[in-house]
C-alpha cells in the first residue's frame, strides 16, 4: 500500500471512530450530573425503603438495597424497581 492510500485510510478510519465516540461523550456531558457512588445510591435506597415503611428490619432493607445496587452496577440501563420481599 502506498503512502497516500495509507494516509487516506487512516483519515477515514479516524473520522469513523470520532463519529461513533463523540455522540456518547456528548450524551454524558449533556446530562451534567456525575455518576453516583455506591454510597450515595445506598443512602437514597435506604431513605426510600424507610419512607415505604413496609415493616422490614433495617438489616433486610440494607440487604435489599445492596441487591438493587449490584443489579444496577451489573446492568445500568435496567429500570430501578424496589425489591420488596414476600411476607
Q: Could you give the residue ranges of the DSSP H alpha helices within the chain?
A: 3-31, 38-52, 58-74
Task: Give the SS3 label for residue 56.
Answer: coil
Q: What is the pLDDT of residues 50-65, one digit of tens each?
A: 898 788 899 999 999 9
Q: Give the largest Cα separation in the chain, rounded.
A: 74
Do 57 and 43 lie in one domain? The reply is yes
State the burial class of residue 45 (Cβ atoms within 10 Å of its Cβ: 0-12, 13-18, 19+).
buried
Assess whether 29 and 64 both reside in one domain: no
Range(s) of the domain holding residue 70: 35-87
Q: Are residues 79 and 39 in the same domain?
A: yes
**pLDDT one-digit tens code per residue, 11-60:** 777 765 566 555 555 555 566 777 788 899 999 999 998 898 788 899 99
Length of the chain: 87
Question: Residue 48 in 3-state DSSP?
Answer: helix
Determine the pLDDT at residue 25.
53
Amino acid at each position: 500500500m502506498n503512502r497516500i492510500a495509507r494516509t487516506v485510510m487512516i483519515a477515514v478510519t479516524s473520522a469513523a471512530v470520532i463519529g461513533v465516540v463523540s455522540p456518547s461523550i456528548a450524551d454524558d456531558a449533556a446530562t451534567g450530573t456525575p455518576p453516583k457512588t455506591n454510597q450515595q445510591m445506598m443512602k437514597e435506597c435506604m431513605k426510600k425503603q424507610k419512607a415505604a415503611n413496609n415493616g422490614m428490619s433495617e438489616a433486610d432493607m440494607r440487604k435489599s438495597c445492596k441487591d438493587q445496587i449490584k443489579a444496577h452496577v451489573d446492568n445500568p440501563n435496567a429500570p430501578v424497581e424496589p425489591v420488596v420481599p414476600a411476607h
